[in-house]
A and B are shown apart, each in its own frame.
Chain A
Amino acid sequence: MSAKTIAETNFELSCPTPLRAKDTILLGHGSGGKLSAELIRDIFLPAFQNPVLARLDDQAIVTVNGQRIAITTDSFVVKPLFFPGGDIGSLAVHGTVNDLAMGGATPLFLSAAFIIEEGFSMDDLRRVVNSLRQAASEAGVQVVTGDTKVVEKGKGDGLFINTTGIGLVPEGVDLSADLARPGDKVLLSGSIGDHGIAILAQREGLEFETQIQSDSAALHTLVANILGVTSHVTPNVTRDIRCMRDPTRGGVSSTLNEIAERSQVGIELEESSLPIHEQVRGACELLGLDPLYVANEGKLIAIVAPEASDAVLQAMRRHPLGTEAQIIGMVKKENAGLVTMRTPFGTTRIVDMLAGDQLPRIC
């Protein structure tokens, strides 16, 4: 090719007209990333606006006759229905219990709604219901109401479950994503990416074997440990624990980006302190994924005042679900709204929120 030709091509750039994801719902709208946030901001918030919803926490906290009640709802569409370390039934309990727990609430009651596709195996349904019952009993919550709908074959994907949960918030506890302040520490209760990789390894067409198990678990007793110890150290819990979140869809990165945005602070992570199991790292390397964006179902992130961070870390580590807990970073004034990461090389990079789902790379 001549110099002239390549120079000429400078004027034939291949730039498409920008595409706005506004006309139809894409899978990415359910990813927990930027597209999900846009959907909530543009469609749902304007329709239902009220101060409780506007907090955009994992649960709503309302006051009835002086009693603070936490409410949350979650729908479960996981595929495959059964995976190492859990199934859609146990997940439907853990997911909702955890959303209540992240508000500091003690979970009490659940509803369970089943949307079942015509032709679904009765044995599988029994298995799921049994697992849901067992998970509820272990978490100390009762399923007190429910609903069943059957859709025509081809109109559903086997089984979807929705659970709604109610719990009580103890006095003095006030956790929210907009309370992070510069100087706070970022605590993570354990290794990341286990759930997402366990699910991915089971998907049709992906032929690799791992012993990775989903971390699906109810976190309310871990939360109780954290709040208990902190109130012991300093009586005013709200002063020390700013916020708790479980980094599910979109992973640790999306959760921290939400906190940074809501609190208008920067969050700086220390790459070398991130707990990641060797097998998860290996699978992520192989598949071209970043564990920071992979889903977890049994981990929590706590933003904690610096003076209480050691006590909270010890409280986490004393709980069976927090033995691998780490302080993974801190809240800063700089780079408000952004999550950044210090690499072992002494350089800093952004940990961005993804637009939609993380996509495997070509090579």
Chain B
Amino acid sequence: MKYLDEYRDHRIARALAAEIVQCTTRPWVLMEICGGQTHTIMRYGIDELLPRGIELVHGPGCPVCVTPLETVDKAIALALQPDVILVSYGDMLRVPGSRSDLFRAKAQGADVRIAYSPMEAVKIARSNPDRKVVFLAIGFETTAPANAMAAWQARREGLTNFSMLVSHVLVPPAIRALLVSSANRVQGFIAPGHVCTVMGCKEYESLVRDFRVPIVVGGFEPVDILEAVLMLVRQLEARQLGADVARLENQYVRSVSYQGNLPAQQIVAEVFEIADQKWRGIGPIPQSGLRLREDYAAFDADRVFDLGEIKVDEPAECISAQVLQGLKKPTDCPVFGMRCAPENPVGAPMVSNEGACAAYYHYRRHAVAS
């Protein structure tokens, strides 16, 4: 398949791995931000190709994993209202809230539908004028333009039965939060390629400058990730030799530009505004999310429906906060693979395929056992 096979070519991958081995003189801790990248690393065993000293830790970039419990509980409560059709991306359905999940709500009679695009939810609202259609609008900057477009379109059409339950998160504030933490061990970041396709590289300049940390915008295939690692290692090793620089580099040039997708940014800015946001497994991070602007209040499910204050008890059992900050590996967790498994997740990163714990469970537990 064009544009994919060449980035999965094992000969190129091995050549890159050999180059990384050659230029690595000391241990480095690198973090890939996006869950899609974590998934690739585990699926292809990229970390096994790297020299022992290069440690890849896994960042908080799994949108399903970081969606707060309260949002899941609200979605379930909405879905169970008899006149509501709840539309969601597929992998949100199995995410456990505090007592149930959307699959169970569906089994109890809730009308829950899977969509690939939020525009499908608008279409459902159009053809079901007597029902209230709620779209569970979650994700990073990647899904924000399409979600914004749905609200924009619904407003343009004057739909009165469409709303969105919004839980949007932003990458740069999360990286900043990791970097200011005294516990931080990460020395270089692979920034998420699809987020940057929308937002451009430009957003990461200030992080590189403020923290003098190298950031490479990376793609999602094995060759992409190895090349991004090589670029980071080269910067870090050069610094050892006295070069006092940290640079923002773009490995994913076939998709990412400096400015990003301006029309997409425009629609996001028109519909959403930046707000404080809680991250499941991490906690609240200031100015790290998006909420609907006042002009779009009529499409905000939080305001349209009286859901009351949902307060969730959170038993502190798993180590997801440490995992999502790169402080621990999923396999360090005492309940990993025992009480916590994808069919029965205890914590956020075990929930979606792209969560770090689920990736380890699906692809690596034989290595843990042996």
Contacts and interface: CB of A to CB of B under 8 A. Distances in A.
Contacts of A5: 283-284
A349 B354 contact: no
Interface stretch (B93-101, B208-216, B234-242): B93-101
A13 B320 contact: yes
A13 B10 contact: no
A326 to B, nearest CB: 19
Contacts of A359: 90-91, 93-94, 114
A349 B113 CA distance: 33
B255 interface: no
Contacts of A12: 283, 314, 316
A15 B116 contact: no
Contacts of A344: 8, 10
Given A285-B4, A352-B362, A361-B91, A13 B321 contact: yes
Interface stretch (A22-30, A100-108, A211-219): A22-30
Interface stretch (A146-154, A186-194, A233-241, A335-343): A335-343
B36 A363 contact: yes
Contacts of A11: 316
Interface residues of B, number: 93
A144 interface: no
Contacts of A320: none
Nearest to B317: A15
Contacts of B314: 12-16
Interface in A279-325: 281-282, 285, 287
Interface residues of A, number: 53
Contacts of A14: 68-69, 280-281, 312, 314, 320, 347-348
B200 interface: no
Interface string B257-294: 00000000000000000000000111111100000000
A20 B183 contact: no
Nearest to A335: B366
A290 to B, nearest CB: 9
A347 B116 contact: no
A361 B61 CA distance: 14
A67 B65 CA distance: 56
Name the residue in A13, A19, A206, A360 with the highest tally of chain B Cβ atoms < 10 Å from its Cβ.
Answer: A13
Contacts of A282: 1
Contacts of B346: 15-16, 18
B64 interface: yes
A24 B104 contact: yes
Interface string B188-230: 0000001000000000000000000000000000100000000
A49 interface: no
Contacts of A65: none
B22 interface: no
Contacts of A2: 180
A3 B1 contact: no
B45 A347 contact: yes
B143 A363 contact: yes
A205 B13 contact: no
A181 interface: no
A355 interface: yes
Interface of B: 1, 4, 8, 10, 13-14, 36, 42-46, 48-49, 63-64, 68-69, 89-94, 96-101, 103-104, 106-108, 113-116, 120, 123, 138-140, 142-143, 173, 176-178, 180-183, 194, 222, 280-286, 312, 314-322, 325, 339-340, 342-348, 352-354, 361-366, 370
Closest A-B pairs by Cβ, 6 of them: A347-B45, A9-B283, A355-B343, A360-B90, A344-B10, A359-B90
Interface of A: 1-3, 5-21, 24-28, 34-35, 205-206, 278, 281-282, 285, 287, 335, 338, 340, 343-350, 352, 355-356, 359-363
27 contacts: A1-B285, A3-B181, A6-B178, A7-B183, A9-B283, A10-B321, A10-B322, A12-B316, A13-B314, A14-B68, A15-B318, A16-B346, A17-B99, A18-B344, A21-B343, A26-B107, A287-B116, A340-B366, A343-B10, A345-B44, A345-B45, A346-B14, A349-B363, A355-B94, A360-B91, A361-B354, A363-B140
Given A18-B340, A349-B44, 12 more contacts: A2-B180, A6-B282, A9-B321, A10-B321, A14-B347, A16-B98, A18-B339, A19-B96, A19-B99, A350-B365, A350-B366, A359-B114
